[in-house]
Structure 1
Amino acid sequence: MESSSVAGATVFKPRTSIWFTGIAVLIAVGGLVSVLVTDGTAALSTAAPLVGVAYLGWWLFWYPAVLLADEAVTLRNPLATIRVPWAALIDVDTKYALKLVTPSGAYTAWAAPAPGVWGTHAGKVEHVTNLPSTSYGPGGSVRPGDLKNTDSGYAAYLVRSRWQELVENGTLDVDHPDSVRRSWNWRHVAVAVLLIGAGAVQNVGS
């Protein structure tokens, strides 16, 4: 897991995002080099599938993120971007992935999936201590998805810590919360459809 600060916002991305994106780009670049060596520059016109592999790697693994700013926490998913104002947040869940629960519905973060068996067994004492109070269940229990060494757990830790700070400071106007805003990422979807379509046409024609 990793978080960084961009323009005043904390940005969370899973540590594996750079690896999966890099693999996709390397596959695409390797394929392009092979095409150039074998068939020359004229064959680049048929390279849409390779470009599609690189684009899908970026879109599915590098683009998704959880962004925490003063006004809201934003889930940047491949298909849609959801802006959840802090005052509209009523619960944070990590059963299958980081999920923000609001009066209007629950919204899941693509960038923060819950751990598998390996991630759960890799947990240590320091991963379950000094968490925000809302992380703990009955008897001080901690769900595997809340372990701080996991994607869902670390993202939840960031969200809950900021949320708890705002609550304790009395800066949330819970009586007049702004509404959740969802915007569809039509440009990204259109590019993916075009590249996949172009690749399909080339495969049919070959």
Structure 2
Amino acid sequence: MTSSRNMAATTVFRPRTSTWFTALAVLVTAGSLVSVMATEGLAGLTTGWPLLGIAFVGWWLFWYPAVVFAEDGVTLRNPLATISVPWAALIDVDTKYALKLVTPRGAYTAWAAPAPGVWGTHAGKPEHVTNLPSTSYGPDRSIRPGDLKNTDSGHAAYLVRSRWQELVESGAIDIDRPALPARSWHWKLVLVAVLFAAATVWTLASGS
């Protein structure tokens, strides 16, 4: 059986829909490029920037975001920034709208772990609300819909809370000396998105 320590060391969590949306963006791009080449030849590829932009945006918004579990903490890889949260920086874990890690410097939300909609909530089963870490439960053992283990936010929160609780109970975290998270912005990805947008505007303006 895999322990929470091993899971934390090896798990890269993405929403279940990320593969589908990314594949759809790539397929739309590939199909459109083939269509352009069939009608305009290789010269048509010079106007294919908007199509390549679709593939990039699909990858950037759906595949690139992730929640990465490691021995030293949790990393939230969002489209605009990556936030590294050491286990000792955690104060609380929330799932109201998405997985949210509360730290001494503020709360950080995971793009890759949204809370469920109506369908996801109704798909919950008894096994999805049992044997959760103690910090998952509110008064009278209540939980949020976003804590259900069958949801993106709930599964990610389960992994975070399990490892965090294990470290707290073992005394590996000094709660009186919390660590601090670190954030790095993805300026290169933003620049690529801006260039694609500019190329798209230029292409559309040239063709009008």
Q: TM-score interval w.r.t. the shorter chain? A: over 0.9
Q: Is 1:112–2:110 an aligned residue pair?
A: no
The Cα of 1:6 is off from its aligned counterpart by: 9.9
TM superposition score normalised by structure 2: 0.94
**2:167 aligned residue:** 166
Q: How many residues align?
A: 202
1:197 CA drift (Å): 1.1
Q: How far apart are the structure 2 equivalents of 1:6 and 1:38?
A: 50
TM-score normalised by the chain length of structure 1:
0.95
Aligned pairs (5 A) from 1:49-88: 49-88=50-89
- Residues 198 and 7 (structure 1), Cα distance of their counterparts in 2 relative to 1, 3 Å cut: farther
Q: Aligned to 1:92, what secondary structure does the other structure show?
A: strand
Separation in structure 2 between the aligned mates of residue 200 and residue 60 of structure 1, nearest angstrom = 21
Farther-moved stretch of structure 1 (105-114 vs 178-187): 178-187
CA shift for structure 1 position 132: 0.5
In 1, the alpha carbon distance for the partners of 2:181 and 2:9 equals: 21
Distance change in 2, residues 1:169/1:7 (3 Å): closer
Matches of 1:85 and 1:170, distance apart in 2 = 15
Percent of residue pairs bearing the same amino acid type: 70
Runs of 5+ in structure 2 lacking a partner?
1-5
**Which residue of structure 1 lines up, in the alignment, with residue 132 of structure 2?**
131
Q: Is the 8 A contact 1:85 1:177 kept in 2?
A: no
Three-state SS of the structure 1 residue aligned to 2:11 is strand
Q: CA deviation at 1:103?
A: 1.4
> Aligned pair in 2 of structure 1 residues 14, 100: CA closer, same or farther (>3 Å)?
same
The whole-number CA distance in structure 2 between the counterparts of 1:176 and 1:127 is 34
What is the rounded CA distance, in whole Å, between the counterparts of 1:184 and 1:112 in structure 2? 19
